[in-house]
Amino acid sequence: MLNNSGARYKRSSLEIITNRFILYCILILIGMCLFAGIASTLWLLSFSPHTGRVIFIIMITKSAVTDGILNLVSAILNYQILIPLSLYISVELIKLGQIYFISQDVKLYCERRDRAMECRSLNIPEELGRVQYIMSDKTGTLTGLSSIPSVHFS
C-alpha cells in the first residue's frame, strides 16, 4: 500500500525557475494594484466634489471607497501585462523545435535497429548536457567498500 501512490510530476529546473519568477511577478502586480486602489481611495476621500475645490474629479459612484475598488480592478486590468503568459508558450514552442531537430539528427540514427531518435517528453531536451552529480570512488570499487558513518559517544 505504501508504493501504491501515483507517479509524481517531474519538473525541469527551467520550469521551476520560470514558475518562481512568475510568482514574483504576480506578487509585484498585487502590490502595485493594492497601492493604486488604496491611494485612489485616500485621494478621493481627501477631496469633496460638493465643495467645488477640485472640479475635475469625476466619481462614478457616490462612494469614494467604491470608486477606489473600481480603480483597483482597472489597475489589475492595466498592469496584468506584467505576468508573461506568452513566455510559457514560447518555451513550449522552443521545446517542440528542439525535439524535432533531435529526431531528425542523422548522427543519432541507429542503423542496427533501423530507428531514429525518439523523444517522448518535452522536459528531456532542456536537461541534456547538464551535470548535477558526479559519483566517484577514490578506491576504484563502488561495491567493495561501504561508507557507513560511525557514531562515537564520549
Share of the chain above pLDDT 70, in %: 69
Q: Do residue 108 and residue 79 come from a single domain?
A: no
Q: Are both 79 and 90 inside the same structural domain?
A: no
Which residues constitute the domain of residue 100?
Answer: 86-128
For residue 142, tell me if it sits in a domain. Answer: no
Do 101 and 50 lie in one domain? The reply is no
Residue 48 pLDDT? 61
The verdict on 38 and 73 lying in the same domain is yes
Q: Does 139 reside within a domain? A: no
Identify which of 47-51, 74-78, 129-133, 146-150 has the greatest average pLDDT: 74-78
The answer to whether the predicted template modeling score (pTM) of the entire model surpasses 0.95 is no
Q: Which residues are the active-site residues?
A: 137
- The answer to whether residue 153 is domain-embedded is no
Instruction: Please give the C-alpha separations between residue 82 and each of 23, 26, 32, 69, 109, in angstroms, as whole numbers.
Output: 11, 8, 11, 20, 44
Contact 72, 34 (CB under 8 A): yes
Give the integer Cα–Cα distance in Å for 145 and 143.
6
More confident residue, 105 or 4: 105
21 & 65 share domain:
yes
Residues 67-94: pLDDT tens digits? Answer: 888 888 999 999 988 888 888 888 889 8
Assess whether 78 and 19 both reside in one domain.
yes
My answer on whether 103 and 118 are in the same domain is yes
What pLDDT score does 7 carry?
Answer: 61
Phi (first) and psi of residue 115, to 5 degrees? -135, 145
pLDDT in tens, 127-139: 777 766 766 666 6
**Separation CA 12–CA 127 (nearest Å):** 7
Say yes or no: 17 and 67 in one domain.
yes
CA distances to 107, 143, 146, 148, 149 from 152, in Å? 55, 25, 18, 13, 10
Angstrom distance (rounded) from CA 20 to CA 28: 13
In a domain, 140, yes or no: no
What does the alpha-carbon distance between residue 137 and residue 97 come to, in Å, rounded to a whole number?
Answer: 39
Q: Could you tell me if residue 63 is inside a domain?
A: yes
pLDDT of 33: 93
Work out how many domains the chain is built from and give that number.
2
C-alpha cell at 30: 498585487
**Is residue 33 domain-shared with residue 51, that is, in the same domain?**
yes
118 part of a folded domain: yes
